[in-house]
Structure 1
Amino acid sequence: MSHINFGTISTGLTVAGHTLGSALWRNRLFLSIVLVHMFVGAVVSSLNGIPYWTLLLESLGTILLMILKFTGVFAAFFLGWRFFYAIFCAKPEKPIHWMISDTRKFLSKYVRVVDGTLCFVAIAVLANTFTCLKNMISILAPFSWDPMFAELDRMLHGGFDVWTLLWPAFGYPFVTTVINVAYHVWFVLIYVLTFVAAYDRREPERGMVYLVAFALTFIIGGNVLATLFSSVGPVYYQAFGFGGTYVEQLRNLEMLDQISPVWALDVHEILLNNFSTEGVVRGISAMPSMHVASSVLMALYAFRFSRWLGWIFTIFAVVIQIGSVHLAWHYAIDGYLGTLVALVCWYLAQFLTKIFYSGSARFQYASLAT
């Protein structure tokens, strides 16, 4: 009969507890922001009869499944990269043995996995709270700012609605489809970059700055400012009783859709139907543009890797700004404020990261990259 080695189990639990505790401490800045946001979201949701905790559990289940998928993709990419590195750079006598040893060396730094998973789960909590609060914007602050934003847009752009200035250059079927593709690619990129920031521990401070800036941008911009400046954007201007100012723009997009697909039109309808029927994703908010704000954050983060990558993401952010107006989602000033929020939150995140990880604590945090 086998004997249970309680000493080994105890040692294992101690190591696991120490590993988790260290991960919590290393990521305390980002996790603290997410926890405060979660507490506020839970209180506000309860006061408005929203099942916050049920939605959170569903969100965590989805994100854990996503972690498994991303881990599979990352593993395939990592093995392929290291294989080519072995063949063309390292050129070992036994490539397979070298690959096994190299992979073991990487996995030995399991702290990367613990830290990354912890942060990625925290992002799921952040996203759930953000969605709950966004869904309640019309309850907390009925939509009313659109006429003022539409007029301010015209004042800043020579008396013209901005979409009319963009139309001569971008109002072509194929061009509009390409812009719409970029708008959809945003959903992929935002997940990929948050995954990289969570799991890439070569320069831990770099990832922490992005994660903190990401959280602050969505909390301040997507929840606080979006509620204070409650608005629906050009696409729903008529539907919410503000007049027919943007009917021509939507009609023109529908004409283009007959030639080349403009998927934004379908999303317009789905979101409005969800809002009317209280679907799961029903939050409508225009000011500020979180598409633009997060795209600016991605560009700033990309510059931390290389200049050329930063400029690629900068061009992408410009395309998103144009697309946000051209596809009738936003007024131009929504993107301008989104950009400002992203920049402020980025530099605030840098400042907070330096404070939290200064001196010996910062050295200990950075030592994970070695």
Structure 2
Amino acid sequence: MSKTADLPAANFVRLSALRRNRLLLSLIALQMVYAIAVSIYVGRSYWDFSTSSLIVISVRLLGFMFANFVLWRLGVAMFVVRPKKPIQWMLQDLRSKMADVENATDAVICFLSIVALILTYTFLKNEIHAVNPTLWDEQFVQWDRFLHGGVDPWTLLWPILGSPIVTTAVNGAYHIWFPMIYIAVCVACLDRSDPNRSTVFLVAFALCWFVGGNVIATIFASVGPVYYEPFNLGSDFVPQMELLRKSHEISPVWALNVQEMLLDGYRNNGLAGGISAMPSMHVASTVLLAFYGFTYSRWLGWALSVFAFIILLGSVHLAWHYAIDGYVSILLASCFWWLSRRLTAKFGPST
């Protein structure tokens, strides 16, 4: 077939892929429009921010995505198919998967959408306090105390989680969150065996980070217990921070270094300088991860539910969040998952 004859077919594939993923693309486009409006309001260029970060982040995520793809197919070869030559089977499988133009196009579109989501989310998070300088922290502290018998929730957790070794373990789980979320995103982009399942997760993920992490986080601007004193809100959480530092002297609490890095980035307009506590994106995204796990198997869903519970406890224990941040995040994630299922049923790939 001539190249000229191939053009209509290629255009049809691209248009079909755009239509199948129109729900996710529409959300990302809406987030970008919101970011442009914010950039005009605060007087900082969204495009300059995006351009400077796009190449580096895209390359890193592409490499991470490809590595996940290879490991996934190797796992299928070793534990599902079990051929005599698993590496050879995997290489042949990779070639066939990459030759599937329709699924490959969907994967690329989803991947690029998530890159755009992350970049835009980061820009908007960095501008939260420029848009809304009023902090809700004192109100959240009062609500926390009202819900927990008049005391700060971290004081209830410390007798249980306050051991230096346990604190390190909780902090380890909190750090594992990052690769787990990206693995889940890669799986959703690459696994096209059930396009609607992937779309539900990716759309809920986009809603979580855009509506929750950008819009709601700006309306209810807050900094969390760890930054309560640095933002001149009082010394209420100084005892908690002192206990975490003492624990760090015995067993590492890596959160302390990350917290210092974020505060430095905030004060010096760094790339990772956005500080917000409400809602907790760690908790919200991990709850989504548990919902996604249930779509594969019950045991995976329950395992990820336990992980989400640990993240909820860790968010308070490590002074990142007030307990109410996590409670609201669970509610938001549940609503986003429900809404995503409804939207996907109406506008998803199978419609």
Q: TM-score under structure 1 normalisation?
A: 0.89
95 and 137 in structure 1: CA distance in 2 versus 1, 3 angstrom threshold:
closer
Once the two structures are superposed, residues 164-185 of structure 1 have per-residue CA deviations (whole angstroms, 9 ceiling, x without a partner) of 0000000011100111111111
- Which residue of 2 is the match for residue 225 of structure 1? 216
Equivalent position SS for 1:278 = coil
Equivalent position SS for 1:333 = helix
1:75-94 correspondence runs (5 A): 75-79=70-74, 81-82=76-77, 85=80, 87=82
Equivalent position SS for 1:201 = coil
Structure 2 residue identity aligned to 1:14: P
Equivalent position SS for 1:346 = helix
- How far apart are the structure 1 equivalents of 2:134 and 2:345? 39
Deviation at residue 128 of structure 1 after TM alignment: 1.1
Deviation at residue 100 of structure 1 after TM alignment: 6.6
Once the two structures are superposed, residues 120-156 of structure 1 have per-residue CA deviations (whole angstroms, 9 ceiling, x without a partner) of 1111111111111111111111142111110110010
Kindly indicate whether the alpha-carbon contact (under 8 Å) linking 2:73 and 2:90 is maintained by their aligned counterparts in 1: no
Kindly indicate whether the alpha-carbon contact (under 8 Å) linking 2:77 and 2:90 is maintained by their aligned counterparts in 1: yes
Given the alignment, which residue of 334, 337, 362 partners 2:350? 362
229 and 119 in structure 1: CA distance in 2 versus 1, 3 angstrom threshold:
same
Consecutive aligned runs of 4 or more in structure 1 exceeding 4 Å deviation: 83-88, 94-105
- How far apart are the structure 2 equivalents of 1:15 and 1:80? 34
- Which residue of 2 is the match for residue 19 of structure 1? 13
169 and 117 in structure 1: CA distance in 2 versus 1, 3 angstrom threshold:
same
Given the alignment, which residue of 323, 328, 337 partners 2:319? 328
Structure with max Cα Rg: 1
- How far apart are the structure 1 equivalents of 2:272 and 2:90? 44
- Which residue of 1 is the match for residue 30 of structure 2? 36
Deviation at residue 198 of structure 1 after TM alignment: 1.2
Question: Which one is further off, 45-54 or 251-260?
Answer: 45-54
Question: Which one is further off, 140-149 or 165-174?
Answer: 140-149
Q: Kindly indicate whether residue 134 of structure 2 is the aligned counterpart of residue 134 of structure 1.
A: no
Equivalent position SS for 2:138 = helix
Deviation at residue 218 of structure 1 after TM alignment: 1.2
Kindly indicate whether the alpha-carbon contact (under 8 Å) linking 2:68 and 2:183 is maintained by their aligned counterparts in 1: no
Given the alignment, which residue of 198, 201, 204 partners 1:210? 201
140 and 111 in structure 1: CA distance in 2 versus 1, 3 angstrom threshold:
same
1:1-370 correspondence runs (5 A): 8-61=2-55, 62-79=57-74, 81-82=76-77, 85=80, 87=82, 102-357=93-348, 362=350
Question: Which one is further off, 49-58 or 240-249?
Answer: 49-58
64 and 151 in structure 1: CA distance in 2 versus 1, 3 angstrom threshold:
same
Kindly indicate whether the alpha-carbon contact (under 8 Å) linking 1:140 and 1:227 is maintained by their aligned counterparts in 2: yes
Residues matched between the structures, number: 350
Once the two structures are superposed, residues 187-245 of structure 1 have per-residue CA deviations (whole angstroms, 9 ceiling, x without a partner) of 10111111111111001100100111111111121111111111111001111111100
331 and 95 in structure 1: CA distance in 2 versus 1, 3 angstrom threshold:
closer
294 and 85 in structure 1: CA distance in 2 versus 1, 3 angstrom threshold:
closer
Equivalent position SS for 1:362 = coil
- How far apart are the structure 2 equivalents of 1:132 and 1:74? 29
Q: TM-score under structure 2 normalisation?
A: 0.94
CA RMSD of aligned residues (A): 2.0
- How far apart are the structure 2 equivalents of 1:97 and 1:236? 53
Higher relative contact order by CA 8 Å / sep ≥ 6: 1 or 2?
2
163 and 101 in structure 1: CA distance in 2 versus 1, 3 angstrom threshold:
closer
- How far apart are the structure 2 equivalents of 1:211 and 1:276? 33
